[in-house]
Amino acid sequence: MTVMYESALQRYEPVFGLETHVELGTRTKMFCGCAAVFGAEPNSQVCPVCLGLPGSLPVVNRLAIEYTIKIGLALNCSIASWCRFARKNYFYPDMPKNFQISQYDEPLCTDGYLDVLVGGKTVRVGIERVHLEEDTGKSLHVGGATGRIQGAEYSLVDYNRAGIPLVEIVTKPVPDTGFLAPEIAKAYVSELRDVLRTLGVSDVRMEEGSLRCDVNTSLSVRGSGVWGTRTETKNVNSLRSVERAVRSEIERQAGVLDDGGRVIQETRHFHEDTGVTTSGRSKEEAQDYRYFPEPDLVPVAPPREWVEEVRAALPELPSARRARLVAAWSLTELEFEALRNAGALEVVEQTVARGASPADARKWWLGELARRANDSGVEVSELLITPAAVARVAELVASGSLNDRLAREVIEGVLEGEGTPDEVVAARGLAVVSDDSALLAAIDSAVADNPDVVARIRDGKVQAAGVLVGAVMKATRGKADAARVRELIVERLGV
């Protein structure tokens, strides 16, 4: 029986860990010169090496090593001065050699961490290792209802992906996260994706499988200090699914334990449609793979100077950027998270670079523009307005040429392809009426139309002037500067 999440957390403490596989964006594969591309005609990007034909010999891709070192450095890892590849032996139709070249007890990068921000707080996730291996091919099961092997009439294999360099990033177990475990797991993958994107080592497209996660989850009885048996949920392919997979395993395992059962060490499949996991195969132990050092490859011994060169050339990482922007824009961590979660960080930064104040840039991108993006079902960054145009709108408001209502109309015109903000202002006649004589005429008629209001103002009820301001704004169809109108009314009535 599955129990409710909140109830499960009262009796059990979850521990999770993540293994993330990332396809590197090198031009060629890990051990041969075949193109590493997505979506080509099946079996068109293969050669004797990646097909594992007898007598073929692998050669290590130097750029893949460099990318892995970059990832290790960005995750605060130690970089091995000497390490080897290992053969991982198992039999699977999508693996033509019947072994995978991977790394076992000598990974290239070890013992780092990644700080993630959840609910305004920083959580440090330990990194156990970052190692390099080759991807497998893909099986395609034809004739079954679900694309799975069960019920299929026959299966096809495509080896284009076999041999694409794959980095595996393994966290240490993350304990003591309580209710936040699913959210922290998701935030970790999101932060890791940002780091990898910033490094430019992968296109990190979860939907195309260039970034995939296996989620390990276990429960311990609160206060027992003993960690339970973990399960591994395979190939969780979206950020939302990472969160749901951890959550559903917590609920399922709590049900098993409550019924006096035992959690079995196994791999499980996550189902996007139902949000639950189902049993896969029982999990192999490392000894089942008969690892041994790969005899066809020389060890990898990156010179210190090279590692330091790579370190010196690292771009500004998301955490450093966060610290910089939080300070420069006087934000709280929560406000920063809101910007990032809205996908507006980039555009706001560019708008500020074009001269807008951080407060104005945030106001327009998180307000009017986020609303319009939401209405059209697109990301804010996909809207047909440039940061330069938003900066210009903010400038026109700051200088008093536009008020907020007119500015929203200008934005609408830009989004509808009517040109730059200045062109929209000219074409739609949207500038604020700042000519005092035009305003005074409108004020005179407002005063004439509202003698009782004027009497109240003269009696000292200055706030009643709002009625006259409203009348003038209406007469000018919203194009007046309300603050200026109020000043002129006060002058006109001599109060």
Closest residue by Cα to residue 99 from 307, 274, 295, 254: 295
Least Cβ distance, residue 321 to Zn ion (angstroms): 38
Determine the Cα–Cα distance for residues 310 and 293; give it in Å rounded to an integer.
Answer: 27
Q: To the nearest whole angstrom, how small is the minimum distance from the Cβ of residue 38 to Zn ion?
A: 16
Query: Which of residues 49 and 471 has its CB atom nearest to Zn ion in the complex?
Result: 49
Do residues 43 and 159 lie in contact, with contact meaning Cβ atoms separated by under 8 Å?
Answer: yes
Buried b / exposed e over 321-343, threshold 16 CB at 10 Å, is bbeebeeebebeeeebbebbebe
**Closest CB 28 distance from Zn ion, rounded Å:** 8
Are 242 and 193 contacting, i.e. CB atoms less than 8 angstroms apart? no
Q: How many residues lie near Zn ion (CB under 5 A)?
A: 5
For Zn ion, the closer of residues 3 and 50 by Cβ is 50
Read off the tokens for 134: 């080759």
Residue 185 carries which side chain, given as an amino acid letter? A
Tally the residues of the chain: 495
Minimum separation from the CB atom of position 71 to Zn ion (A): 23
Cβ closer to Zn ion: 30 or 215?
Answer: 30
Exposure string of 192-210, with b = 16+ CB inside 10 Å and e = fewer, is bbbbbebbebbebebeeeb
Give the residue with the Cβ less far from Zn ion, 49 or 201: 49
The residue range among 25-33, 191-199, 283-291, 476-484 that interacts with Zn ion, by the rule CB under 5 A, is: 25-33
Q: Is 225 helix (H, G, I), strand (E, B) or coil?
A: coil
DSSP three-state, residue 389: helix
Sign of CA dihedral 445, 451, 457, 463: negative
Kindly report the number of other CB atoms within 10 A of residue 489's CB atom: 24
Whose Cβ is closer to Zn ion: residue 35's or residue 320's?
A: 35
Choose which of 15, 24, 30, 32 interacts with Zn ion (CB under 5 A). Answer: 32
CB contact set of 185 (below 8 Å; sequence gap of 6+): 16, 18, 174, 215, 242, 243, 246
* Least distance in angstroms from the C-beta of 164 to Zn ion: 10
**Contact region for Zn ion (CB under 5 A) — 10-18, 33-41, 184-192, 310-318?**
33-41
> Is the CB of 32 or the CB of 489 nearer to Zn ion?
32
Q: What are φ and ψ of residue 62, in 5° steps? A: -65, -40
What distance in Å separates the CA atoms of residue 489 and residue 466, rounded to the nearest whole number?
Answer: 10
Give the residue among 317, 315, 301, 341 at the shortest CA–CA distance from 113: 317
Candidates 42-50, 200-208, 268-276, 366-374; binding stretch for Zn ion (CB under 5 A)? 42-50
- Closest to 410 measured CA to CA, from 425, 429, 427, 390: 425
Minimum CB–partner distance for residue 33 and Zn ion (Å): 7
Site string for Zn ion, 219-258 (x = CB under 5 A): ----------------------------------------
Q: Is 47 in the site for Zn ion (CB under 5 A)?
A: yes
CB of 238 to Zn ion, least distance (A): 30
Of the listed pieces 32-40, 110-118, 294-302, 336-344, which binds Zn ion according to CB under 5 A?
32-40
Looking at 291-385, which runs of residues are DSSP E strands?
Answer: 292-293
Q: Does 30 bind Zn ion (CB under 5 A)?
A: no
Please give the full DSSP string across 85-118, using - where no structure is assigned: -EEEE---TT-TTSEEEE-SSS-SEEEEEEEEEE
What are residue 99's DSSP bridge partners? 89
- Strand, coil or helix: 392: helix
| 101: contact with Zn ion by CB under 5 A | no
* Half-sphere exposure (Cβ direction) of 436: Cα atoms closer than 13 Å: 8
Closer CB to Zn ion, 45 or 210, in the complex: 45
Smallest separation, CB 258 to Zn ion (Å) = 51
Choices 47-55, 204-212, 299-307, 423-431 (CB under 5 A): range interacting with Zn ion:
47-55
From 45-53, 175-183, 316-324, 366-374, give the range in contact with Zn ion by CB under 5 A: 45-53
Q: Which stretch binds Zn ion (CB under 5 A): 14-22, 43-51, 72-80, 360-368?
A: 43-51
Interface residue with Zn ion among 8, 9, 18, 34 (CB under 5 A) is 34
Quote the least distance from Cβ 5 to Zn ion, whole Å.
Answer: 47
- Our CB check for Zn ion shows the closer of 136 and 241 to be 136
Helix (H, G, I), strand (E, B) or coil at 301: coil
The distance of closest approach from Cβ of residue 320 to Zn ion in the complex, given in angstroms and rounded to an integer, is 38
Is the CB of 50 or the CB of 411 nearer to Zn ion? 50
Of positions 24, 30, 50, 442, contacts Zn ion by CB under 5 A: 50
In the complex, minimum distance from the CB of residue 50 to Zn ion, in angstroms, rounded to a whole number: 3
Q: Which stretch binds Zn ion (CB under 5 A): 31-39, 64-72, 392-400, 481-489?
A: 31-39
Residues found near Zn ion in the complex (CB under 5 A): 32, 34, 47, 49-50
